Amino acid sequence: MFQFGKLFEPGRIGTLELKNRIIFPPMATHMATLEGDVTDQLVNYYIERARGVGLVVIEGSFPSPVGHPKRIALDHDGRLAGLQRLVRALHQEGAKVMIEVNTHMGRQDQNPLSPSDLPHPITGKRGKPVDAADIERMLKEYGDAAKRVKKAGFDGIMIHGGTGYLVAEFLSPLVNKRTDEYGGDVRRRARFALDVIDVTRKSVGAGYPVVFRLMAHDRVPGGFDTDDAIVTCKLFQDHGVDAVDIITGSAVSHEWTAPYMYLPAGCNTDVSGAVRKEVSMPIAVAGKINDPVLAEQILREGMTDFVDIGRGLLADPNFVVKTIEGKAGKIRKCLACLRCAEQYLFSRDPVVCAVNPAVGKEKEYASALKGAVKRKKVLVVGGGPAGMEAAILADRRGHDVMLWERSDRLGGNLNLAPVPSGKSDMKSFLDYLNKELQESGVKVTLRKKASPGQLTDAAPDAVVLATGSRPFVVDIPGMGRENVVGFSEVLSGEKDFRDEKIVVWGAGFVGCEVAYFLAEKGNDVTLIFPESEPAPEVAYPDNRKILLRKLEENRVRIEVGIKEFKEIRSGGIALVDKEGKDVFFEADHIVLATGARPLNEFTPAEKQGISELYEAGDCVEVRRLLEAVREGAEAALKL
Ligand SMILES: Cc1cc2nc3c(=O)[nH]c(=O)nc-3n(C[C@H](O)[C@H](O)[C@H](O)COP(=O)(O)OP(=O)(O)OC[C@H]3O[C@@H](n4cnc5c(N)ncnc54)[C@H](O)[C@@H]3O)c2cc1C
Ligand SMILES: Cc1cc2nc3c(=O)[nH]c(=O)nc-3n(C[C@H](O)[C@H](O)[C@H](O)COP(=O)(O)O)c2cc1C
């Protein structure tokens, strides 16, 4: 019997009939032109993700392009042709299409506005308190944008009331301290949202589907909570909203807005389930619903009427098709690693995904995967994620592929990355790669090391080197002692420490995760490092914030700014601390996490002797999963 009956049951939002319960929620792509027009890249990206989905909601767009480069703008009718092309393309895929419209980004905007004069908890920026003229101007622009949404042929409109932007800031008691009619109790704080709803309804007319995306919980004490969400949703319903899409998290709890690995799957269903009991309109919910089994379960349990699958469809645009075809076990799952959000935050380049290198290059990948012009004999050296991805795609393109891995299992560092608690999502990608390899024609040989001089032994036409990295060790006296171990021995389980005193040397993200892992096992852990901050290279602030919180919760001592590491002795490590004082840290074991260097033992002469050679992943430069997978894939596409 088909196990996903509820997920594929038709549903309805106002007058709009949807073929199933799956929504691709709004996710900014930075694929529009600088001025805010639709591009071919954007259309191809959405076509890929519309397959099998009931409703696609196009990313947050703006009534004005000012301050929002590469985001869709709705400021004049000249934009309509591009938008109509997008809608037509998605209709052809059988999906219904809405678009999300933002009013203003609040304190995160180029011209910051805010309900009250309070600093943003992350940026410290204050917004000008919104006055009556601001409201009048925003509502006028919003109403005009809503009219264009309808003219462009969208099946409905979604109002952005989330992510700590202006509408959500008005709703939250943490940000809205006004004493006029827009502030006070939950009903008064909802007034700005209701104004936006009313102007939208006036612009699009009766019967046109209007969905409100609601930041339904601040996730901190004293913030907007589930009770507030229930009152607010009842008001929305009275004002003609057809459905509410539940998300949580705001500036104070940003880690909930696109939940990281440490938060549980389906993490917002507590709120959506409670709201759904109290209102008659349909409810949708987002938040790590990255598995069809979970999606089906929360629908059956009455936690929601629709499920948003955002990053899940970024990672695998065939998520829905695979589910329909009974191949749910083959879905390439989102890891919730937030490389997508990191890219969005720090650059205007198109969105990326650590496990799906084809994001934003849908056409190029589809065409390359039709097959190679000439079948080649390809040797891939190294069975980490870079080598595995290269081998899988080279095989899919019709090449004759061998993969040599020197250890007794595939996966490289992807075997270690999921070990610290909260990171188990990463394991799903290794499972995916293993399955794909098993079903491919790739000839995998384990315990086979390619040594210098051996690259041409099997007479390959092309070689992909993906040999990864080796630990970097600072050579100080005592380094060879028995009480010194590498982080990989700890994470692999080769060494199992419990209730001991441990110094972890090195506080990049690996050192921090190892310290957390050891502390959770009851060890007394001290983290030592020369820098002034732990995990400096963890770029995405939410990930760093959670990692540091875990260290604190597990009482890991952090010793910053170590000036010199002098000697490892039997009972600990001697060093010069940040004050320049000689100190000795007692420890039963010293765990090294002092970084890594590329492992690439082949000489330039040997590499030059191979007519077609590519290098991918950490063997080029030690980085992260995204780069390994992307470079492995790109090598395969060039073959
Ligand atoms: C503890 C830990 C946590 C991490 N967490 C994250 C994270 O959260 N997010 C993220 O993006 N990245 C993370 N990373 C980084 C990520 O795992 C690596 O960037 C990625 O694994 C690199 O892939 P690769 O294939 O280039 O190299 P590797 O994974 O190192 O694989 C290389 C493979 O080549 C094999 N090999 C080497 N030499 C030879 C040879 N001569 N012949 C045959 N085989 C050979 C090795 O045995 C190995 O299996 C983490 C890394 C570690 C160690
Ligand atoms: C890169 C990125 C961009 C996003 N852009 C938007 C957006 O434009 N509007 C919005 O309401 N939510 C946006 N979100 C939030 C998602 O719609 C979604 O609520 C969130 O990712 C949780 O769902 P998921 O776990 O299925 O990805 C974005 C999230 C990410 C990771």
Each residue's pLDDT tens digit, 496-530: 999 999 999 999 999 999 999 999 999 999 999 99
Domain at 613, CATH number: 3.40.50.720
Q: What is the pLDDT of residue 421?
A: 85
**Residue 425 CB less than 6 A away from ligand 2:** no
d(CA 578, CA 12): 63
460 shares a domain with 348: no
| Nearest in space to 384 (alpha carbons), one of 598, 188, 178 | 598
Within a domain: residue 201?
yes
d(CA 273, CA 278): 9
**Residue 416 CB less than 6 A away from ligand 1:** yes
| Nearest in space to 616 (alpha carbons), one of 602, 597, 633, 632 | 632
Within a domain: residue 44?
yes
Helix crossing, 269-278 with 226-238: angle to 10°?
50
Within a domain: residue 477?
no
**Residue 413 CB less than 6 A away from ligand 1:** yes
Domain at 577, CATH number: 3.50.50.60
Atom of ligand 2 lying closest to residue 351 CA: 1
408 shares a domain with 313: no
Q: Among 579, 594, 609, give the residue marking a domain's end.
A: 594
Q: How confident is the model at residue 3 (pLDDT cuts 50, 70, 90)?
A: very high
Within a domain: residue 172?
yes
Looking at the predicted structure, is the pLDDT value of residue 131 above 90?
yes
Q: Which residues contact 603 (CB under 8 A, 6 or more apart)?
A: 452
Q: Tell which wins on pLDDT, 1 or 85.
A: 85
**Residue 262 CB less than 6 A away from ligand 2:** no
**What is the token pair recorded at 398?**
């019709």
Q: Among 342, 363, 384, give the residue marking a domain's end.
A: 363
Within a domain: residue 351?
yes
Atom of ligand 1 lying closest to residue 419 CA: 1
390 shares a domain with 284: no
Please name the residue ranges forming H helices in 14-126: 40-50, 80-92
Share of the chain above pLDDT 90, in %: 91
**Residue 309 CB less than 6 A away from ligand 2:** yes
446 shares a domain with 546: no
Q: Which long-range contacts (CB under 8 A, 24 or more apart) does 438-441 make?
A: 440/391, 440/392, 440/395, 440/396, 440/401, 441/395, 441/400, 441/401
Local structure of 245: helix, strand or coil: strand
Q: Which ligand is nearest to the CA of 355?
A: 1
Look over the chain and give the mean of its residue pLDDT values, rounded to a whole number.
96
User: What are the angstrom distances between the C-alpha of 120 and each of 253, 355, 389?
Assistant: 12, 33, 41
147 shares a domain with 38: yes
User: What's the domain count of the chain?
Assistant: 3
491 shares a domain with 460: no
Atom of ligand 2 lying closest to residue 289 CA: 26
**Residue 404 CB less than 6 A away from ligand 1:** yes
Q: How confident is the model at residue 65 (pLDDT cuts 50, 70, 90)?
A: confident
For residues 510 and 593, is the Cβ–Cβ distance under 8 A? yes
**Residue 106 CB less than 6 A away from ligand 2:** no
Q: Which ligand is nearest to the CA of 409?
A: 1
DSSP output for 543-589: HHHHHHHHHHHTT-EEE----EEEEEETTEEEEE-TTS-EEEEE-SE
CA of 254 to the centre of ligand 2 (A): 12
163 shares a domain with 86: yes
Within a domain: residue 128?
yes
309 shares a domain with 252: yes
Looking at the predicted structure, is the pLDDT value of residue 539 above 80?
no
387 shares a domain with 346: no
Within a domain: residue 476?
no
Per the listing, tokens 């309109």 go with 281
Q: What is the pLDDT of residue 329?
A: 94
Count of residues in the chain: 639
**Residue 440 CB less than 6 A away from ligand 1:** no
Q: Among 363, 387, 419, give the residue marking a domain's end.
A: 363
Q: How confident is the model at residue 121 (pLDDT cuts 50, 70, 90)?
A: confident
Within a domain: residue 107?
yes
Domain that holds residue 542: 484-594
521 shares a domain with 394: no
**What is the token pair recorded at 400?**
């004759």
Residue with CA closest to ligand 1 atom 30: 468
Q: Which ligand is nearest to the CA of 212?
A: 2
For residues 569 and 478, is the Cβ–Cβ distance under 8 A? yes
CA of 601 to the centre of ligand 1 (A): 16
d(CA 595, CA 580): 24
pTM of the full predicted structure? 0.96
For residues 281 and 243, is the Cβ–Cβ distance under 8 A? yes
Q: Which residues contact 525 (CB under 8 A, 6 or more apart)?
A: 502, 503, 504, 515, 518, 519, 554, 555, 556, 557
Q: Is 165 a catalytic residue?
A: yes
Domain at 186, CATH number: 3.20.20.70
> Of 45, 46, 142, 165, which one is the catalytic site residue?
165
H/E element, 493: none
425 shares a domain with 334: no
Q: What is the pLDDT of residue 188?
A: 98
Looking at the predicted structure, is the pLDDT value of residue 164 above 90?
no
CA of 596 to the centre of ligand 1 (A): 10
Local structure of 139: helix, strand or coil: helix
Question: Per DSSP, what are the bridge partners of residue 157?
Answer: 99, 210
380 shares a domain with 438: yes
Atom of ligand 2 lying closest to residue 309 CA: 26
Q: Which ligand is nearest to the CA of 386?
A: 1
